[in-house]
């Protein structure tokens, strides 16, 4: 079982082709759709017809695998994101474009969708704990295009199904069905255990709620647009903490539904971290024990190097194998679980203590990371590729552990504040030479982000904006999105 985490912070500028994604080179200025200035007494309102949305991925810092057996896990957001652009259409169709999944794309005539299988969820009602099997079957047999069954689009099938399910279940009787296009890009490696599906689910939920006019998510945007013309801000917040948690929870509920469509029985950790950002402690209810999630307050930005081993994971098999090892030697297994629980609790205390000196914090986290990985290795969750990554980073005096299911996937390395940029460059070059892909990021930062495209762009301008979004190089995407301006975050 995995959890999630995110944090944004300034990172070293590294411009080689295979450097960490957050060290993007210069990119051209953003496409300006409208630069019309409003007078102070003219109310400024978003058009609500064109939106950028983004949501972070997550990383498990402590407690993976052991969380399945009732141990606390610590997850946090990572400053690698899924980005989405949604634009109103006037042709009675909806479209989905997934450039990162072999450029999958399809449009549906809205009235051709199997609406007879939909039992709408009324405004103010929650979805309920179970997916609607009738709607799921109707989407699978009557709405999915044949292309999703092709081998090259195997990953797209779940994403398409989740998009259609949320779109249709949010239908309101007697009101027009929204017509819009939806395009997503991601700086997250897909299928590497960093919450790429949860960040996509958060974007799907937010866009559908906005176009169905079933969220107060647009209210912070309206307030910002109106206030911008009236005051001059003296403190630069970059949109952080502009969206209240109670508004974000509206999106989180539906992001969880999208996650259910894609994964069956998710814990809810990944989507919660993706929407709310920051970090959380999660404990699963096992053998009558109480479970739940707690946010980490006072969490401070910490730099990490995420390294994708590029080795595919088999989460179910790995979880099963760990369970077998625990049963083979229950006494030692109990000791290991107790040790990981102690590591998670100490990690929670360190990360949530605003008074602990920074140097003490980073030194303590490094030791906990090394210890946690040793226990995960003993449980059989590591892999030869992950061990090589640990050895390469150990040469630079850094501590690394696997994250998520292990057996491949990603490793996380804590980067101290005083670690030299030149040393980081040399390390990332060595990792790339060994066949791995490093990403420099921070954990525990902002969650869901929204950004309305102000003005009334022409069809040509909309197409130009979409084309710029789709064609922007992946390593430049985060900077390109930031340059669009006007982002508000949870």
Residue 163 and residue 413 in contact, taking contact as beta carbons nearer than 8 Å: no
Spatial CA neighbour of 205 closest among 152, 116, 145, 275: 275
CA distance readout (Å), 429 to 18, 104, 306, 363: 8, 32, 14, 25
| Other Cβ atoms within 10 Å of 253 Cβ, number | 15
CA distance readout (Å), 257 to 42, 188, 263, 450: 40, 21, 10, 20
Spatial CA neighbour of 6 closest among 263, 370, 268, 280: 280
Cα 441 to Cα 9: distance, rounded to the nearest angstrom: 8
Residues 321, 152, 479, 463, CA torsion sign = negative
Residue 95: CB partners within 8 Å, gap ≥ 6? 89, 105, 106, 107, 108, 180, 181, 182
- Of the listed 132, 270, 308, 418, which one is catalytic? 270
Spatial CA neighbour of 54 closest among 268, 246, 198: 198
Three-state secondary structure call for residue 450: strand
Residue 374: CB partners within 8 Å, gap ≥ 6? none
**Length of the chain counted residue by residue:** 490
Three-state secondary structure call for residue 7: strand
Structure tokens at 464: 């130009």
Residue 58 and residue 274 in contact, taking contact as beta carbons nearer than 8 Å: yes
270 annotated active-site: yes
Secondary structure (DSSP) of 40-78:
TTS-----SSEEEEEEEEEEEEE-TTGGGGT--EEEEEE
Cα 404 to Cα 402: distance, rounded to the nearest angstrom: 7
Secondary structure (DSSP) of 373-418:
HHHHHHTT---HHHHHHHHHHHTTT--EEEETT-SSSEEEEE--TT
Cα 396 to Cα 403: distance, rounded to the nearest angstrom: 20
Catalytic residues: 270
């Amino acid at each position: 079982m995995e959890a999630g985490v995110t944090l944004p912070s300034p990172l070293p500028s590294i411009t080689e082709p295979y450097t960490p994604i957050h060290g993007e080179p210069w990119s051209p200025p953003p496409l300006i759709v409208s630069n019309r200035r409003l007078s102070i007494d003219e109310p400024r309102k978003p058009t609500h017809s064109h939106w950028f949305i983004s949501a972070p991925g997550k990383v498990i810092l402590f407690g993976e695998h052991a969380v399945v057996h009732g141990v606390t896990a610590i997850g946090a957001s990572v400053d690698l994101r899924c980005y989405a652009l949604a634009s109103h259409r006037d042709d009675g169709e909806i479209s989905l474009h997934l450039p990162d999944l072999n450029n999958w794309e399809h449009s549906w005539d809205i009235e051709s969708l199997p609406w007879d299988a939909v039992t709408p969820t009324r405004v103010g009602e929650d979805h309920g704990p179970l997916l609607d099997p009738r709607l799921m079957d109707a989407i699978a047999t009557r709405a999915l295009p044949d292309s999703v069954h092709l081998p090259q689009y195997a990953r797209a099938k779940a994403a398409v199904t989740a998009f259609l399910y949320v779109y249709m279940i949010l239908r309101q009787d007697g009101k027009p069905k929204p017509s819009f296009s939806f395009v997503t890009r991601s700086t997250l490696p897909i299928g590497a255990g960093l919450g790429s599906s949860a960040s996509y689910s958060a974007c799907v939920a937010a866009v559908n709620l906005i176009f169905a006019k079933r969220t107060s998510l647009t209210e912070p945007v309206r307030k910002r647009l109106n206030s911008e013309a009236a005051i001059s801000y003296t403190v630069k917040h970059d949109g952080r903490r502009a969206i209240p948690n109670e508004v974000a929870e509206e999106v989180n509920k539906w992001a969880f539904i999208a996650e259910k469509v894609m994964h069956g029985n998710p814990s809810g950790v990944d989507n919660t971290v993706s929407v709310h950002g920051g970090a959380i402690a999660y404990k699963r209810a096992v053998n009558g024990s109480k479970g739940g999630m707690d946010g980490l307050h006072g969490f401070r930005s910490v730099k990490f190097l995420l390294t994708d081993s590029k080795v595919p994971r088999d989460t179910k098999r790995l979880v099963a194998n760990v369970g077998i090892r625990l049963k083979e030697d229950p006494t030692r297994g109990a000791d290991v679980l107790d040790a990981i629980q102690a590591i998670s609790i100490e990690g929670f205390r360190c990360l949530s203590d605003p008074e602990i000196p920074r140097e003490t914090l980073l030194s303590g986290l490094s030791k906990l990371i090394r210890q946690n990985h040793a226990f995960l290795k003993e449980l059989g969750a590591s892999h030869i590729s992950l061990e090589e990554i640990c050895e390469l980073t150990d040469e630079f005096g850094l501590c690394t552990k696997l994250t998520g299911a292990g057996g491949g996937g990603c490793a996380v390395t804590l980067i101290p504040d005083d670690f030299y940029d030149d040393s980081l460059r040399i390390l990332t070059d060595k990792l790339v030479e060994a066949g791995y892909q490093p990403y420099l990021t921070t954990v525990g930062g902002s969650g869901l982000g929204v950004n309305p495209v102000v003005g009334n762009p022409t069809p040509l301008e909309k197409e130009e904006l979409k084309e710029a979004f789709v064609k922007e190089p992946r390593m430049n995407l985060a900077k390109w999105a930031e340059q669009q301006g006007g982002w508000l975050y949870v």
